[in-house]
């Protein structure tokens, strides 16, 4: 199979999707919009599509112009890439961008199949007009939309021709030992269902809700409290990864750590890049805030690491925390799970899909410092429970987010929906 990913820029959340295609012998091309400096760690070479003459002219007169979102690509170069590669499928990120619209028009002209890739939740809150518009759009284009975010499937219906395609990660335990015939027997409905790829007896402790003896109780603040049998000795190590932008909520984690440091000895390591306008200055503001809170001896800031080194760095820690508000996915949560860490995120993060409350981590109320502090104490208060949660994180990543599972669901989508 030949597959093209069309993206504003390459992000490492696609690393295992692309790696799996290469492992299966597929040919992969990645097209990005001009900005090649941020397109690193991709398993295949990244091909930039230059700006159109109009966009270049505007950029010269208005340097602050948002090229990634509003710029128009060079249609001639884009067409040459697609016509020369002749893909079996084009995956187009963020269909509302001009780059994506140009790719859709080019694909239609060349009669090449494509899907629209978004990180909006499959079961999201869509108004009636938007629901009708999106359903009509994918039907008229004879395509489908895919998302790695499920959303609340108990309260909301999914859109027509809108399918769940999970982000994938590699775990230490291989998911590929399931017989191929059993994998291929999964029904089409599994594209939107949640049945694990692995046999249930491989993971007897995994349940949608904790067992009675594991059930979480909450105090008056809503913080999660679980029964534990042991006390922690030594400092617990917490990891956060995220750029220094406001929605990553670095300050909330600093406040939560300060709130519980006397009850739970801990250290926090923040790894984040500063590529982008104003991010270096914001990193310094966070450093100053750490000093103001008297947490200089507890919280460390590290520079961003190359992708492979970052995967190994997870092993240094006991817990991963994503304090972000309104984070679409947060694939770092999955990466931490694959390395055997319990995980925490807010209830407005798409990564909440990956967490089974009290089983492999906790979900806190967004922007609520006491709720986050309680979630941290829940996960770190008892070392044995911390280790048990970490093991279950790895099981969940293996069962629901293996590269094999992604590849199978994509094949089902192509064979049953797009043909």
Its domain, for residue 16, covers 2-197+402-418
Same domain, 138 and 149: yes
Same domain, 390 and 411: no
Note the pLDDT tens digit of each residue in 129-181.
888 888 888 889 989 999 998 877 666 677 788 998 999 998 754 443 333 33
Task: Measure CA 196 to chain center.
Answer: 19
Query: What is the band of 58 on the pLDDT scale with cuts at 50, 70, 90?
Result: confident
Mean pLDDT of the chain: 82
Pick from 14, 2, 76, 65: nearest CA to 40: 14
pLDDT at 274: 75
- The tokens for 408 are 């199978």
Tell me the β-bridge partners of 30. Answer: 5, 46
Q: What is the 3-state secondary structure (H, E, C) of the chain?
A: CEEEEEECCCCHHHHHHHHHHHHCCCEEEEEEECCCCCCCCCCCCEEEECECHHHHHHHHHCCCCCHHHHCCECHHHHHHHHHHHCCCEEEEECCCCHHHHHHHHHHHHHCCCEEEECCCCCECCCCHHHHHHHHHHHHHCCCCEEECCCECCCCCCCCCCEEECCCCCCCCCCCCCCCHHHHHCCCHHHHCCCCCCCCHHHCCCCCCCCCHHHCCEECCCCCEECCCCCCCCCCEEEEEECCCCHHHCHHHHHHHHHHHCCCCCEEEEEECCCCCCCHHHHHHHHHHHHHHCCCCCCEEEECCCCHHHHHHHHHHCCEEEECCCCCCCCHHHHHHHHCCCCEEEECCCHHHHHCCECCCEEEECCCCHHHHHHHHHHHHCCHHHHHHHHHHHHHHHHHHCCHHHHHHHHHHHHHHHHC
pTM for the whole thing? 0.81
Pick from 341, 401, 331, 414: nearest CA to 14: 331
> Is the separation of the CB atoms in 146 and 413 below 8 Å?
yes
- Give the separation between CA 75 and CA 104, rounded to whole angstroms: 11
Rounded percentage of the chain residues whose pLDDT exceeds 70: 81
Rounded percentage of the chain residues whose pLDDT exceeds 90: 55
Instruction: Return the higher-pLDDT residue of 68 and 51.
Output: 51
Total domains in the fold of the chain: 2
CATH of the domain at 169: 3.40.50
Side by side, the strands of the sheet bearing 162-164 are 46-49, 27-33, 2-7, 89-93, 114-117, 145-147, 162-164
Same domain, 145 and 72: yes
- β 114-117/319-322 pair status: unpaired
pLDDT at 417: 81
Same domain, 301 and 320: yes
Same domain, 160 and 207: no
Same domain, 26 and 142: yes
**At CA 181, angle to CA 91 and CA 175, rounded to 5?**
65
- How many CA within 13 A on the CB side of residue 56? 8
Same domain, 250 and 135: no
pLDDT at 301: 95
**At CA 406, angle to CA 90 and CA 18, rounded to 5?**
55
- How many CA within 13 A on the CB side of residue 83? 10
Q: What are phi and psi of 86, to 5 degrees?
A: 50, 65
For range 361-374, the mean pLDDT: 96
Please determine, for residue 263, whether its predicted confidence score (pLDDT) is greater than 70.
yes
Note the pLDDT tens digit of each residue in 5-31.
999 889 889 999 999 999 999 999 999
CATH of the domain at 259: 3.40.50.2000
Same domain, 211 and 304: yes
pLDDT at 35: 60
Note the pLDDT tens digit of each residue in 189-238.
333 344 333 333 333 333 333 332 333 333 444 433 333 334 555 789 99
Note the pLDDT tens digit of each residue in 278-337.
788 999 999 999 999 999 999 999 988 888 888 889 999 999 999 999 888 889 999 999
Same domain, 95 and 242: no
Same domain, 159 and 281: no
Query: What is the band of 56 on the pLDDT scale with cuts at 50, 70, 90?
Result: confident
Pick from 230, 282, 238, 270: nearest CA to 372: 238
Same domain, 246 and 387: yes
pLDDT at 158: 75
Lowest mean pLDDT among 91-100, 108-117, 180-189, 230-239: 180-189
Please determine, for residue 248, whether its predicted confidence score (pLDDT) is greater than 50.
yes
pLDDT at 339: 94
Same domain, 180 and 210: no
């Amino acid at each position: 199979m030949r597959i093209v990913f069309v993206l504003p820029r390459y992000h490492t959340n696609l690393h295992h999707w692309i790696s799996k295609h290469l492992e299966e012998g597929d040919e992969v091309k990645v097209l990005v919009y001009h900005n090649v400096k941020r397109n690193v760690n991709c398993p295949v070479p990244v091909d930039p599509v230059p700006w159109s003459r109009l966009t270049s002219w505007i950029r010269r007169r208005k340097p602050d112009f948002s090229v990634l979102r509003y710029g128009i690509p060079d249609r001639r170069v884009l067409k040459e890439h697609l016509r020369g590669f002749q893909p079996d499928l084009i995956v187009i990120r963020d269909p509302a961008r001009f780059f994506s619209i140009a790719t859709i028009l080019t694909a239609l002209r060349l009669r090449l199949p494509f899907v629209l890739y978004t990180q909006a939740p499959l079961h999201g809150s869509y108004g009636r007009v938007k629901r009708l518009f999106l359903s009509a759009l994918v039907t008229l284009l004879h395509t489908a939309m895919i998302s790695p975010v499920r959303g609340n499937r108990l309260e909301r219906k999914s859109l027509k021709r809108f399918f769940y395609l999970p982000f994938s990660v590699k775990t230490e335990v291989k998911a590929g030992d399931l017989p191929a015939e059993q994998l291929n027997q999964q029904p089409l409905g599994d594209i939107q269902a949640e049945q694990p790829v692995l046999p249930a007896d491989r993971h007897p402790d995994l349940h949608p809700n904790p067992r009675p003896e594991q059930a979480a109780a909450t105090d008056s603040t809503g913080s999660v409290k679980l029964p534990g049998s042991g006390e922690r000795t030594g400092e617990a190590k917490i990891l956060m990864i995220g750029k220094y932008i406001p929605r990553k909520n670095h300050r909330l984690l600093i406040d939560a750590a300060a709130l519980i440091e006397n009850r739970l000895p801990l250290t926090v390591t923040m790894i984040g890049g500063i590529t982008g306008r104003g991010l270096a200055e914001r990193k310094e503001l966070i450093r100053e805030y750490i000093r103001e809170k008297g947490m200089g001896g507890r919280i460390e800031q590290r520079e961003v690491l190359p992708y492979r080194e970052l995967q190994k760095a997870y092993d240094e820690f006991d817990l991963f925390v994503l304090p972000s508000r309104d984070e679409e996915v947060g694939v770092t949560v999955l990466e931490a799970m694959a390395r055997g860490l319990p995980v925490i995120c807010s209830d407005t993060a798409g990564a909440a899909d990956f967490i089974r409350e009290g089983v492999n981590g906790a979900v806190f109320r967004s922007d609520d410092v006491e709720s986050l502090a309680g979630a941290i104490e829940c996960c770190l208060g008892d070392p044995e429970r911390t280790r048990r949660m970490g093991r279950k994180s790895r099981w969940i990543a293996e069962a629901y987010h293996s590269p094999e599972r992604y590849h199978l669901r994509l094949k089902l989508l192509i064979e049953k929906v797009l043909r």
